[in-house]
Amino acid sequence: MMKRRLALLTAAGAAMVAAESAHAQTASVPGRERVVVQISTPDPKMWNQALNYVENLRDLYGADKVEVELVALGHGIGVLKIESTQGPRIADALKLGGVHISACEVTMRRQKLKREDMLPNIGYVPAGLGQIIRRQREDWAYISG
Amino acid sequence: MMKRRLALLTAAGAAMVAAESAHAQTASVPGRERVVVQISTPDPKMWNQALNYVENLRDLYGADKVEVELVALGHGIGVLKIESTQGPRIADALKLGGVHISACEVTMRRQKLKREDMLPNIGYVPAGLGQIIRRQREDWAYISG
Amino acid sequence: MMKRRLALLTAAGAAMVAAESAHAQTASVPGRERVVVQISTPDPKMWNQALNYVENLRDLYGADKVEVELVALGHGIGVLKIESTQGPRIADALKLGGVHISACEVTMRRQKLKREDMLPNIGYVPAGLGQIIRRQREDWAYISG
């Protein structure tokens, strides 16, 4: 009888382990995949590619099943300047749900950029690098643009 | 009394489950290190470097102790085109165990590339970005090439 | 017999709980943020940016609240050569606590570089790629430079 209880417990334990580790595996994907993309190069080809990533991720997971944050910092800040080659694509991306576009205010100070120098409606983060690190800590996938 | 013991057991079990799934998440090096390398720039110098990474990882961990996946996407897809400067090195890498070389089919559609435009014997993934994210979720280390 | 089983289970549970909280303590943000930065491109603009990252991280978290390791490998090794444009900034960074600057010895062998070809006082790692992977496994945040 005791043995049987132990066996049941063991079985229950195993089921819990299985359930729990299934949870652990999907914990990162709580119904929504979350991805932070770093834009830090001065190359407009790479900026364009980062915007392709936004499209690709939405196609891949479904528009309401993915959250993407583009973080522009350092030499990548140009993607969010008012004269950016990517202006129209940024405007389009900003209309989508689950898309965040964040300019690094540390970079803006270094480059003496003000908000009026930047594309309309974008977001701002105090530190782009800190934002990327925070997203990694929050278990977002990380893609270097 | 028995019930209380069972309750304690259940609590201990839950703790063990938690510890176990923490272990599963960090298990990372289960005898084999696993590394996904992103190739997304148009620069053949960086393509060559990604192939050096394959060699270096095998030297470092031992040929049968590491699994590497090179994922070529966006501006990096050229590394896997039939005219790639890296053709011979890709062919050599493909002969090795534990080496996966994957072309992004989203990129191929965007660039109107067909399989006959690509190097022989490579692998294909529906979405390069999705593959890199999946590998991160499966606890592969991530290297931006 | 039952008691002994319970005791064993409890002991096992306690050990696992201890392991778990040790993990929790060394995980993510244990009072100090830890960040490994990869430098692998030949572009001195990106080298300069990686050194900005060191400054930014110290400003962001506080000088004694962050540990940063810059790992130079492949085409990025030039940042640590004696003739590097970044020589003075590297020298300054090396005076700071919590900053590690590591040259990849695999790359040095490939490029026939000796320690006398490199900036003074830097650190060396047997394999830059291995170091970055190890840091990821130790739960450092990862930034591609």
Residues C100-112 have pLDDT tens digits of 999 999 999 999 9
pLDDT tier at A28, thresholds 50, 70, 90: very low
Contacts of C103 (CB under 8 A, 6+ apart): C72, C73, C77, C80, C118, C122, C123, C124, C125, C128
- Of all residues in chain C, the one with the smallest CA distance to B141 is C133
Reply yes or no on whether the pLDDT at B23 is more than 90. no
Give C61's contacts in chain A (Cβ within 8 Å).
130
Whether A94 contacts A123, CB under 8 Å: no
Reply yes or no on whether the pLDDT at C10 is more than 80. no
Overall average pLDDT of the C43-52 stretch: 97
Overall average pLDDT of the A59-80 stretch: 97
pLDDT digits (tens, 9 = 90+) for B94-137: 999 999 999 999 999 999 999 999 999 999 999 999 999 999 99
Residue B27 vs residue C141, higher pLDDT: C141
Contacts of C86 (CB under 8 A, 6+ apart): C44, C47, C48, C51, C79
Secondary structure of B28-92 as H, E, C letters: CCCCCEEEEEEECCCCHHHHHHHHHHHHHHHHHHCCCCEEEEEEECHHHHHHHECCCCCHHHHHH
Distance from the Cα of A81 to chain C's closest Cα (Å) equals 19
CA dist A43 and A37 (Å) reads 15
Distance from the Cα of C48 to chain B's closest Cα (Å) equals 19
CB nearest A24 (choices: B25, B130, B144): B25
Reply yes or no on whether the pLDDT at C32 is more than 80. yes
User: For B20, how many CA atoms within 13 A lie in the half-sphere containing its CB?
Assistant: 19
Distance from the Cα of C17 to chain A's closest Cα (Å) equals 15
Flag if C133 and B20 touch (Cβ within 8 Å): no
Residue C14 vs residue B89, higher pLDDT: B89
Q: Is A95 helix (H, G, I), strand (E, B) or coil?
A: coil
Reply yes or no on whether the pLDDT at B2 is more than 60. no
**Segment among A100-104, A122-126, B140-144, C11-15 with least mean pLDDT:** C11-15
Tell me what percent of the residues of chain B surpass a pLDDT of 90: 78
Overall average pLDDT of the A133-142 stretch: 98
Flag if C49 and A38 touch (Cβ within 8 Å): no
Distance from the Cα of C141 to chain A's closest Cα (Å) equals 6
pLDDT tier at A30, thresholds 50, 70, 90: low
CB nearest A137 (choices: C5, C29, C45): C29
Q: Number of Cβ pairs closer than 8 Å across A and B? A: 75
Q: Number of Cβ pairs closer than 8 Å across B and C? A: 76
pLDDT for the residue numbered B38: 98
Q: Which helix (H) or strand (E) holds C47?
A: helix C44-61
Flag if B18 and C23 touch (Cβ within 8 Å): no
Q: Tell whether the torsion through CA atoms of A145, B69, C45 and A124 is positive or negative.
A: positive
Choose the mutation target among C20, C28, C73, C110 for the interface with B, i.e. most B CBs under 10 Å: C20
Overall average pLDDT of the A71-85 stretch: 98
pLDDT digits (tens, 9 = 90+) for B24-67: 333 444 689 999 999 999 999 999 999 999 999 999 999 999 99
Choose the mutation target among C52, C61, C69, C140 for the interface with A, i.e. most A CBs under 10 Å: C52
Reply yes or no on whether the pLDDT at C40 is more than 60. yes
pLDDT tier at C30, thresholds 50, 70, 90: low
Residues from A in contact with C at Cβ < 8 Å:
2, 6, 38, 40-42, 74-75, 106, 110, 126-127, 129-130, 132-133, 136-137, 142, 144
Overall average pLDDT of the B70-90 stretch: 98
Overall average pLDDT of the C49-67 stretch: 96
Average pLDDT, chain C: 86
Distance from the Cα of C2 to chain B's closest Cα (Å) equals 10
- Of all residues in chain A, the one with the smallest CA distance to C34 is A133
pLDDT for the residue numbered B30: 60
